[in-house]
Amino acid sequence: MDVDHRDLNRTMKLYSTSPLAGAGLPLWLPAGAAIRSELQKLAEDLARDDGCVGVYSPVLGKRELFERSGHLAKFADDMFPPMRLGGDDVMLRPANCPHHALIYAAERHSYRELPLRLNELASMFRAERSGVVSGLTRVREIHLDDTHVFCRPDQVADEVARALRAALEAQAILGLPVDDIRLSLRDDSDAWLGTAEQWNDAQNALREGASRVLASRGAVLVEAPGEAAFYGPKLDLQIRNDAGHEETIATVQLDFNQPERFDLTFVDDHGEDSRVVMIHRGTVGSMERVTAALLEHHKGRLPFWLAPMHLTVIPISARHDPAARALADSAVAAGLRARVAYDGSLGARIRDARDRRDSVFAVIGDDEIADGAVAVTDVAAGYRGCVPLNDLVERARLAHQRRDTQVHWPR
């Protein structure tokens, strides 16, 4: 059965919209913010482990910046209009690569210090029309896990392979099966920036880097002429939902346009300035799109570490409230997301926890208090049993820390 993240949102209460905020600008509610926070931490951990360094850049830039980068010429219809500020026209950025080019250009770089991988989970803006904005998949503000690699030409294939491995690792952790690795190429039209020789070299570098990774995985590279970005070819990780709809979840892209336009160089081993190569790499992807994909793929019941609510404690009656609160407090102190469900009948509170896709719910009454335990139900793991209080918190803490799909319960 097809699952739409917008339908799941009605019971999971992940995000909201408001005409006062505007179309395509979702408001992340606490449950959705919990998912996004976990994704951001994953992106940060993977970037750090892969030798990336963090930077910050503004969401605004002068009109001249986007004229220089080529974005204004190609994407003017998708950009928000300029704002007059202090005699300058400033614009919300459609991508953060121009700012990262400026960060690279702020210092001179030797061939010995390359590659340099600049990472930022950054906001960017697209002026999507009101009729096409939808849920979390078509929005006007995108939060993208984005890295730009600046390297020597002889390092390109290695960096492409490294970026593809990181993207595949991210999808494996998230539990999102990658259906295809697509090599998006130029066609014979004149819609592309750069020379044919530059494109051939770039496309061959992507093929070589991808082949190193995919050969050991038994995966096939699918070539797609005409699907490249205007400034370079790319590798796209494609996933499909139950309805067969295809989404790009992460990208590795070569860019020989930005280094030319911003005159980005490095000092080579002869002391001469040489042109640097720029690679755009996405690992986790955009927070909005990957959240929608995760919800639909997992039908709302996310892997334990990602679940908006790890533990819901349900006291049978008011006299069990202190014990329930103490358990929830202990779980929160261990870094877990936990709540106590007070209102309604016992059955209604259990149904609500199921509808919200809370990962684990624990019922506590006289018998459980006497035994120092709780009656645990974990729908995803198919587990029901009585678990000591301390054991419950520790097992859940380890599952969260290790980014496990499920808690490992006693059998």
Tally Cβ neighbours within 10 Å of residue 56: 9
DSSP 368-379: HHHHTEEEEEET
What is the average pLDDT across 306-327?
96
338-340 and 311-315 as β-strands: parallel, antiparallel, unpaired? parallel
Higher pLDDT, 58 or 208: 58
Higher pLDDT, 130 or 405: 405
Q: What is the pLDDT of residues 271-290, one digit of tens each?
A: 999 999 999 998 998 999 99
Determine the Cα–Cα distance for residues 324 and 358; give it in Å rounded to an integer: 16
Contact between 326 and 320 under an 8 Å Cβ cutoff? The reply is no
Confidence of residue 242 (pLDDT cuts 50, 70, 90): low
pLDDT for residue 1: 60
| Tokens of residue 396, six digits | 């859940």
Q: What is the pLDDT of residues 318-364, one digit of tens each?
A: 999 999 999 999 999 999 999 999 999 999 999 999 999 999 999 99
Contact between 168 and 178 under an 8 Å Cβ cutoff? The reply is yes
What is the average pLDDT across 13-18?
96
pLDDT for residue 24: 94
Determine the Cα–Cα distance for residues 234 and 206; give it in Å rounded to an integer: 7
Q: What is the pLDDT of residues 60-81, one digit of tens each?
A: 999 999 999 989 988 898 999 9
For residue 43, give every residue at least 6 positions away whose Cβ sits within 8 Å of its Cβ, in sequence order, or none.
121, 145, 170, 283, 284
Determine the Cα–Cα distance for residues 184 and 227; give it in Å rounded to an integer: 5
Determine the Cα–Cα distance for residues 290 and 295; give it in Å rounded to an integer: 9
Q: E-strand spans in 271-402? A: 273-275, 277-286, 311-315, 338-340, 360-364, 373-378, 383-388
Whose tokens are 């993207």? That residue is 167
Q: What is the pLDDT of residues 67-121, one digit of tens each?
A: 999 899 888 989 999 999 989 999 999 999 999 999 999 999 999 999 999 999 9
Determine the Cα–Cα distance for residues 411 and 376; give it in Å rounded to an integer: 13
Whose tokens are 């220089």? That residue is 68
Number of residues that this document lists for the chain: 411
Contact between 170 and 283 under an 8 Å Cβ cutoff? The reply is yes
| pLDDT at 267 > cutoff 80 | yes
